[in-house]
Amino acid sequence: MNMLFGSPVLHALILGVVIISALLGVTSYFIWVERKFAGRMQSRIGPEHVGWKGLLQPIADAFKLLIKEDITPKSADRAMFNLAPLLAVTVALLSLAVLPLASGLVIADLDVGVLFFLAAGALTVVPTWMAGWGSNNKYALIGGMRAIAQSVAYGVPLVLAALVPVILSGSMNLSHIVAAQAGGHWFAFWPIGPGFAAGILFVLATLAEGNRIPFDIPEAESELVSGISTEYTGMKFGMFYLGEYVHSLVGAALFVTLFLGGYDGPGPDVLVLQLAWFLLKTAVVSMLLLWVRWTYVRLRSDQLMTLCWKYLLPSGLVLVVASALWVWWKQQGGLA
Amino acid sequence: MSLWKPMFDAARTTIRNLGRKPITAMHPFEPRVRAPRYRQSFALLHEANGDEACIGCKKCEKICPSEVITVGTAAKRESPATGKKRGWADDFTLDLQACIVCELCVQVCPVDAIVMVRVPNAPGFEREDLFLTMKRLYENEALPHAPAIGSSMIASHNPAPAAAEAPKEPAA
Amino acid sequence: MSTHAPAHPVETSSAPAARVPTPVIGPRANPYLDIESYEAEGDLMVLNMGPQHPSTHGVLRLKLWLDGEVVVKAVPYLGYLHRGVEKLLEKLSYVQSTPIVDKNDYVASMTNELALVMAFEKLEGCEVPRRARYLRTICAEMQRVASHLLWLGTFALDMGGALGGGTTAFMYCLRERERILDLFEELTGARFHYHMMQIGGVRHDLPAGWDAHMKQVAADILARIPEYESMLSENPIFRARTRGVGRIDALLAQELGLSGPNLRACGIDHDLRKSQPYAAYDEIEVRSAIAYEGDVYARYVVRVAEMRESLRIATALIDGVPSGPIMGRKPIETVNAVKPPAGEAYVAIDSPRGELGSWVVSDGSPKPYRCKLRPPSYHALAALPYLLPGTTIPDVVVILGSLDPIMGEADR
């Protein structure tokens, strides 16, 4: 269904509203899943009493955040302070526009889809910085500075890692990238080597862009109280929190699209089945990211930068060259 | 590989704990099992013959490090049960908010009148809920007592116990 | 550091070893750096890691002058938890003072009581029976394990954050600590502030079945320690955060009066359990863990090794607890029961944080004339102005955590 009602604008609007609402609902329950999962890993149960097995906990949390007092510090930069949380959620949702959930089920089938989501990923630093500066708080300022350094630094391996599927499939359109992986030839596993390594690089860079442990120095709670979100109360804080989880889910979905074949999976090419495969793969990848989050301690800020510039960037360059060489070799006839 | 193996080890540890039963105790839905010697709140006791045990000697008031106990000594009068003259207390208050649960008052009581109970006071909304009056202290007598009481504690602290008494018994 | 020393902790024999022969003086920060003259050169930001902070281990105020993220000068401010304990002890009698000092080092309560009552016993000259000494030692060692477990959990929490891997390690450590607290609840009736020690002995005797329970708990904890190590010791992220960070050279440690694991991690084998044995330590071999680098990782390794050693000591002692009385003097039945002759006494024990001492001056009355408590955390915090300049903010948190300060005892 490439065009709903025959017009790309209407198609984007309706599908966008549906998918974004679905995503926000899923994110709230992803928070529930995370809390239960983390609880079980720590020999305790997560939320249990609000609703059956704690299923109403996200709703209770959202309600609690809504009824809290909304404080804006007197000397804060009001425009930046109030705009930052809104932008945090918006920018995190932007990448959703180019994700193909099933064949044809994409909000905006851009020919430069990869470029679009990389640009959106780069934008995530803006609300973080706005929060850091606008709070007029030294802890938030340090958090904001660290966020800029980290986002700018890890943007480069992100781009390089995302380039590998582009080279391997020959197109920046995400639907074409997924189509190139059809039949089980997922880029993470075929060709052996560059795809897998690029996948790992992509995961690390996405974790860093999304400020997840082990890269969560902008909001390092044990050092910076709450980092950039120190001065935020109520639903504004909730927006930062939600934005972080949305970014994590969308990052996992992008990883699935680029490296794990998107909606590709055994079975007939039915829309519902494709959607199911996509969601299943995203769920598995998200759980893996959660597992990483709840197991490791965080890196120091300069070690994080060292990791990026000295290890991830050269690896990314090597991988791009390697994948380009592989494609050239294939074109020259390869093994045949 | 030496970089990745410890990362996998850590991940394996957390996943292994995923399989273990959580140690959360679901109280107040399940009763929490406390040790036999657990002590939390207080009770004043009656003697076997029905008299109030407290003679108003104020030893507990003097020894309390936080000064939470106030004893009002009444005039000596005859006991209705034995007919002998003895001391009484006409008021006894214990401020549970400031109590540091040191059990010294129990240790020094010469007549085993005060004892700690194994059930904590239910949390209340007002300060008065945590301020034990004489009436409430006597009501607490019905709650399960902690085993320690003045005479048994002093007996267990005897530096030269009688030959028959082996100290490995569950003394207080 | 001396190059011939091995890079991992060794456990020495019970005889006190020779001191590290050539203490190397590392580059020292000037804690009295005249910050005004420095400020004129560039712009410094003054950050107050204030008394309320998720990871200052209590109420510690650290005033940091930062150049970007690098600390130029650090000044710790204490006193936010000062409760006037020493003055209070002058007002209370000897009998009443034991439950008060419980609250100093609130993580390892029994060690506070032990130091104080040992000083009172020295003043009075009373003998502690053998059974009481064994019970004191077993309690002190299990208390050391509980304290180090809490330290390990909060240390990982400082590094990994409240939502992340640090919390996982924290939960595991506290899960084990709960078992020790249950053990103490069986023994004394309380979970945190036990009031177990009394002048002349101990107040509670072993209940039936406690020794089997204690051995079970010790075996279980010993089996779980490798799990923590798998998450931390070899983990490259943890090692990157802790190796080479916060290095204290041996001479500085001795000058500042550091003791306990902080000192033993610098290569100096100073353990009060061996050099001035108290309680039942003269009847058992104590092996102290030594490391030579003096950095945060060394302190971590020393404390984990100490946990193992304490479990071994407690398990070895529990089977051989002699029968006998648990008090060496007349039972305490009144508030003025203890009236030591005039004099003074200083007794120091090896608490989980270092040398915990109490100096008591008596004037013959039932109340002490002066009680001075020497907390090890206070002297450990004195190392901060030397250690912090040149490090970044994350390192500040890690170094502070590795020194294991408890503000309750530092401020009293």
| Tens-place pLDDT, residues C321-347 | 888 888 888 888 888 888 899 999 999
Cβ A44–B20 below 8 Å, yes or no?
no
Of the candidates C99, C102, C170, which has an alpha carbon nearest to the alpha carbon of residue C332? C99
Q: Give SS3 for B88.
A: strand
Cβ C47–A142 below 8 Å, yes or no?
yes
> What percent of chain A clears pLDDT 70, i.e. is strictly above it?
96
Q: Which of B3, B34, B37 sits opposite C188 (nearest CB)?
A: B37
Whether C186 and C210 have beta carbons less than 8 Å apart is answered as yes
Residue of B nearest to C211 (CA): B168
pLDDT of residue C6: 38
CA distance B12 to B15: 5
Q: Is A301 on the interface with C (CB under 8 A)?
A: yes
Q: How many CB pairs under 8 A join B and C?
A: 137
List of residues 6+ apart from B151 with CB closer than 8 A: B112
Cβ B14–A39 below 8 Å, yes or no?
no
Cβ A42–C167 below 8 Å, yes or no?
yes
CA distance C373 to C369: 13
Of the candidates B158, B125, B110, B118, which has an alpha carbon nearest to the alpha carbon of residue B141? B118
Give the residue-averaged pLDDT of C227-254: 85
**Token pair belonging to C13:** 């024999």
Q: Give SS3 for C2.
A: coil
The helix or strand, by DSSP H or E, that contains position C72, with its residue range, turns out to be: strand C70-77
Asked whether the bond before B110 is cis by omega within 30 degrees of 0, the reply is no
Chains that touch B (3 or more CB pairs under 8 A): A, C
Domain span holding position B66 = 43-151
Question: Mind telling me how many Å the CA of B81 is from chain C's nearest CA?
Answer: 28
User: What does the pLDDT look like over C44-55, one tens digit per residue?
Assistant: 788 888 887 776
Count Cα atoms within 13 angstroms, Cβ side, for C17: 16
Domain span holding position C271 = 11-411
Q: Could you tell me if residue B118 is inside a domain?
A: yes
Q: Is B16 on the interface with A (CB under 8 A)?
A: no
Q: What angle do CA A203, A205, A209 make, to 5 degrees?
A: 115
CA distance C346 to C357: 7
Whether A154 and A208 have beta carbons less than 8 Å apart is answered as yes
For residue B8, the tally of other CB atoms under 10 A from its CB is 11
Measured CA to CA in angstroms, residue C222 lies from A117, B16, C147 at distances of: 50, 17, 15
Whether B154 and C331 have beta carbons less than 8 Å apart is answered as yes
User: Which residues between 219 and 238 in chain A have a beta carbon less than 8 angstroms from any beta carbon of chain B?
Assistant: none
CA distance B114 to B137: 9
Q: Could you tell me if residue B134 is inside a domain?
A: yes
Count Cα atoms within 13 angstroms, Cβ side, for A207: 25
Cβ B158–C178 below 8 Å, yes or no?
no
User: What does the pLDDT look like over B57-75, one tens digit per residue?
Assistant: 899 999 999 999 999 888 8
| C232 interaction partners in chain A (CB closer than 8 Å) | 297
User: Which residues between 269 and 298 in chain A have a beta carbon less than 8 angstroms from any beta carbon of chain C?
Assistant: 293-298
CA distance A207 to A237: 20
User: Which residues between 126 and 145 in chain C have a beta carbon less than 8 angstroms from any beta carbon of chain B?
Assistant: 129, 131
Of the candidates C159, C117, C169, C123, which has an alpha carbon nearest to the alpha carbon of residue C139? C117
| C319 interaction partners in chain B (CB closer than 8 Å) | none
C209: exposed, middle or buried (C-beta count within 10 Å: 0-12, 13-18, 19+)? exposed
Whether C46 and C65 have beta carbons less than 8 Å apart is answered as yes
| B23 interaction partners in chain C (CB closer than 8 Å) | 175, 178
B42: exposed, middle or buried (C-beta count within 10 Å: 0-12, 13-18, 19+)? buried
CA distance A315 to C88: 65
Q: Which residue has the higher pLDDT, B44 or A188?
A: B44
Q: How does DSSP assign A251-285, residue by residue?
A: HHHHHHHHHS-TT--SS---HHHHHHHHHHHHHHH
What is the DSSP pairing of strand B85-95 with strand B114-117?
unpaired
> What percent of chain C clears pLDDT 70, i.e. is strictly above it?
89
The count of structural domains within chain C is: 1
Q: What is the dihedral of CA C404, C408, C409, C412, to 10 degrees?
A: 160
Mean pLDDT of chain C: 84
| B24 interaction partners in chain A (CB closer than 8 Å) | 43-45
Question: Which of A291, A295, A307, A312 is the best residue to mutate to test the B interface, defined by the most B CB atoms within 10 Å of its own CB?
Answer: A295
- Burial string for C65-98 (b: 16+ CB within 10 Å, else e) reads bbeebebbbbebebebbeeebbebbeebbbbbbb
Q: What angle do CA B126, B131, B133 make, to 5 degrees?
A: 130
| B23 interaction partners in chain A (CB closer than 8 Å) | 43-44
**Token pair belonging to A82:** 């109030």
With bands split at pLDDT 50, 70 and 90, how would you rate the model's confidence at A70? confident
Q: Could you tell me if residue B61 is inside a domain?
A: yes
CA distance A261 to A115: 19
Does the pLDDT of residue C160 top 80, yes or no? no
Does the pLDDT of residue C148 top 90, yes or no? yes
Q: How many helices (H) and strands (E) does chain C have?
A: 16, 10
H-helix segments, C271-363 = 272-275, 296-318
Phi and psi angles of residue C87, each rounded to the nearest 5 degrees, phi first? -70, -40
Q: Is A217 on the interface with C (CB under 8 A)?
A: yes
Q: Which residue has the higher pLDDT, A255 or A110?
A: A255
| A39 interaction partners in chain B (CB closer than 8 Å) | 22
Q: Which of B10, B20, B23 sits opposite A295 (nearest CB)?
A: B10
Question: Which of B3, B7, B14, B16 is the best residue to mutate to test the A interface, defined by the most A CB atoms within 10 Å of its own CB?
Answer: B14
| C172 interaction partners in chain A (CB closer than 8 Å) | 42-43
Handedness of CA C358, C359, C364, C367 (dihedral sign): negative
C3: exposed, middle or buried (C-beta count within 10 Å: 0-12, 13-18, 19+)? exposed
Measured CA to CA in angstroms, residue C184 lies from A62, B128, B168, C191, C195 at distances of: 41, 31, 17, 6, 11
* B55 residue type, one letter: I
Residue of B nearest to A289 (CA): B11
For residue A245, the tally of other CB atoms under 10 A from its CB is 21
Q: Is C312 on the interface with A (CB under 8 A)?
A: no
Strand order in the sheet with C343-351: C343-351, C354-362, C370-374
With bands split at pLDDT 50, 70 and 90, how would you rate the model's confidence at A309? very high
Q: What is the pLDDT along chain B (172 residues), one digit of tens a residue?
A: 567 788 888 888 888 888 888 888 887 788 778 888 888 889 898 888 888 888 888 999 999 999 999 998 888 888 888 888 888 888 899 998 888 888 899 999 998 889 998 887 677 788 888 888 888 888 888 888 888 888 888 888 887 765 444 444 444 4
Q: How does DSSP assign C143-161, residue by residue?
A: HHHHHHHHHHHHHHHHHH-
Of A172-186, A276-290, A314-328, give the lowest mean pLDDT range. Answer: A172-186
CATH of the domain at B48: 3.30.70.3270
Q: Could you tell me if residue C6 is inside a domain?
A: no
Q: What angle do CA A289, A290, A295 make, to 5 degrees?
A: 100
Residue of C nearest to B163 (CA): C324
Q: Could you tell me if residue B166 is inside a domain?
A: no
Q: Give SS3 for C64.
A: strand
Cβ B24–A292 below 8 Å, yes or no?
no
Residue A311 is classified by DSSP as: I
Q: What angle do CA C348, C271, C121 make, to 5 degrees?
A: 25
Chains that touch C (3 or more CB pairs under 8 A): A, B
Q: Which of C168, C326, C333 sits opposite B167 (nearest CB)?
A: C326
* A145 residue type, one letter: M
Give the residue-averaged pLDDT of A200-214: 86
Q: Is B162 on the interface with A (CB under 8 A)?
A: no
Count Cα atoms within 13 angstroms, Cβ side, for A108: 17
Does the pLDDT of residue A192 top 70, yes or no? yes
Question: Which of B63, B69, B158, B165 is the best residue to mutate to test the C interface, defined by the most C CB atoms within 10 Å of its own CB?
Answer: B63
| B148 interaction partners in chain C (CB closer than 8 Å) | 189
Q: Could you tell me if residue B15 is inside a domain?
A: no
List of residues 6+ apart from C138 with CB closer than 8 A: C214, C314, C317, C318, C321
For residue A5, the tally of other CB atoms under 10 A from its CB is 10
pLDDT of residue A144: 86
Does the pLDDT of residue C19 top 50, yes or no? no
| A302 interaction partners in chain C (CB closer than 8 Å) | 392
Give this complex's ipTM: 0.85
Q: Is B11 on the interface with A (CB under 8 A)?
A: yes
Q: Is A296 on the interface with B (CB under 8 A)?
A: yes
CATH of the domain at C224: 1.10.645.10
Q: Could you tell me if residue B156 is inside a domain?
A: no
Q: C393-403 and C296-318 are packed helices; what angle lies between their axes, rounded to 10 degrees?
A: 20
Q: Could you tell me if residue B33 is inside a domain?
A: no
Q: Could you tell me if residue B62 is inside a domain?
A: yes
CA distance C402 to C302: 11
pTM: 0.88
Helix, strand, coil share of chain C (percent; to 5): 45, 15, 40
